[in-house]
């Protein structure tokens, strides 16, 4: 049986030369790990196609038409605008369908998501402003233009793993920040999302084609939640583990959540998309970020959290369906979700 060939577009603005084989090391800053969900035991195989921002100046070219489907793993427009621009240009020269096309990635920056989703029924997206060449004065002007009150989160553009520059409570806090004039920053309205038990909860789901896969429900004692809370907070509190188990098993029972996620998926139009959020008391989604750059892996090796791996087969199946759906597209068209 002929294998379905998937070309995985990867690379970033830092790299300057092509890595010709998928076994060579490739700098994947700003790329996702969706390729790990491709089931190579099935009739699907993939090859990594390394792209650089200088690709069009180089002699080597990938034969994109030799693939059945292209999957763009370069997922952070703040980190890799040059490489994404190159992919947008070379994609016009192939009839192979492309998943997560570059023009869709542009719409998943923090400010673009805030503008696209807004504060609609069942979805609350904190106001966010992008501030290039971020001096304290420019940050303060951005804050003055926002219809929100202190505190605000200020973070460097292109960071996604809890690397927060600061939570500022007043103008003096902003003035004290050490910022390079070359930095681009995001200013985001802070919303206190502690639940009635005093915990901060961060949920993550992935939209893979038309399928929604719950990834985790982390609980912490501070607002800046990251994976380390499993060992720091959750492991010693069985109720928090049970909370996550229940979410993974019964998330579709949460009123309005499924329909809200589908709204976000349709708005942002990415075929592969991660969403981080919390839930307000009325089950309104409080959106932290929604983009394809989130990683699906790794999972905790701690036996206390072994249940979390139960979602992997469903995610692999969803990716198989997504690739199969792309095959049914007329060549030379963009997939509609």
| CA of residue 68 relative to chain centroid, distance | 25
pLDDT of 180: 75
Q: 225: which 2 tokens?
A: 């939640």
pLDDT of 60: 83
pLDDT of 28: 74
Distance CA(108)–CA(30), nearest Å, equals 13
Backbone angles phi, psi at 254, to 5 degrees: -75, 120
The domain defined by 127-189 folds into Dna Ligase; domain 1 (3.30.1490)
Most distant CA atoms of the chain, gap in Å: 66
Q: Closest by alpha carbon to 320, among 107, 43, 119, 109?
A: 43
pLDDT of 121: 84
Q: 86: which 2 tokens?
A: 């190159």
DSSP-assigned letter for residue 121: T
pLDDT of 292: 97
The pLDDT mean for the chain works out to 91
Cβ(169)–Cβ(153) under 8 Å?
A: no
Q: 35: which 2 tokens?
A: 């390729």
Domain ranges of the chain: 4-101, 127-189
Average pLDDT over residues 324-335: 71
Of 53-57, 63-67, 179-183, 288-292, the poorest mean pLDDT is in 179-183
Integer angstrom CA distances of residue 42 from 36, 49, 249, 281, 324: 13, 21, 27, 43, 12
pLDDT in tens, 95-117: 999 999 999 999 999 999 999 99
CB-side exposure of 125: number of CA atoms within 13 Å?
A: 22
pLDDT in tens, 115-152: 999 998 899 999 999 999 999 999 999 999 998 999 99
58 pLDDT band (50/70/90 cuts)? confident
158 pLDDT band (50/70/90 cuts)? confident
16 pLDDT band (50/70/90 cuts)? low
DSSP-assigned letter for residue 232: I
């Amino acid at each position: 049986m002929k294998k379905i060939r998937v070309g995985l577009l990867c690379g970033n603005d830092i790299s300057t030369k092509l890595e010709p084989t998928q076994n060579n090391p490739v700098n994947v800053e700003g790329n996702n790990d969706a390729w790990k969900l491709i089931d190579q035991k099935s009739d699907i195989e993939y090859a990594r196609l390394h792209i650089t921002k200088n690709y069009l100046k180089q002699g080597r070219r990938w034969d994109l038409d030799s693939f059945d489907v292209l999957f763009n793993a370069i997922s952070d427009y703040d980190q890799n605008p040059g490489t994404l621009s190159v992919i947008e240009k070379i994609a016009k020269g192939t009839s192979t369908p492309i998943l997560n096309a570059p023009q869709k990635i542009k719409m998943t920056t923090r400010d673009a998501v805030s503008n696209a989703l807004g504060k609609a029924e069942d979805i609350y997206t904190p106001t966010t402003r992008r501030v290039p060449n971020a001096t304290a004065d420019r940050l303060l002007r951005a804050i003055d233009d926002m219809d929100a009150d202190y505190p605000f989160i200020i973070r460097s553009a292109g960071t996604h793993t809890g690397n927060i520059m600061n939570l500022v409570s007043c103008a003096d806090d902003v003035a004290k920040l050490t910022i390079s004039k070359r930095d681009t920053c995001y200013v985001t309205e802070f919303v206190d999302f502690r639940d009635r038990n005093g915990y901060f909860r961060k949920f993550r789901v992935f939209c893979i084609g038309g399928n929604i896969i719950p990834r985790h429900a982390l609980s912490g004692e501070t607002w800046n939640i990251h994976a380390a809370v499993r060992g720091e907070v959750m492991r010693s509190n069985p109720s928090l583990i049970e909370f996550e188990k229940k979410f993974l098993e019964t998330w579709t029972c949460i009123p309005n959540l499924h329909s809200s996620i589908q709204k976000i998926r349709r708005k942002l139009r990415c075929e592969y998309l991660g969403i981080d959020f919390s839930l307000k008391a009325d089950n309104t989604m409080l959106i932290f970020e929604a983009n394809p750059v989130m990683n699906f892996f790794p999972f905790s090796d701690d036996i206390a959290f072994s249940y979390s791996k139960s979602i992997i087969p469903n995610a692999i199946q969803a990716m198989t369906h997504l690739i199969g759906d792309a095959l049914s597209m007329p060549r030379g068209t963009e997939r509609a979700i």
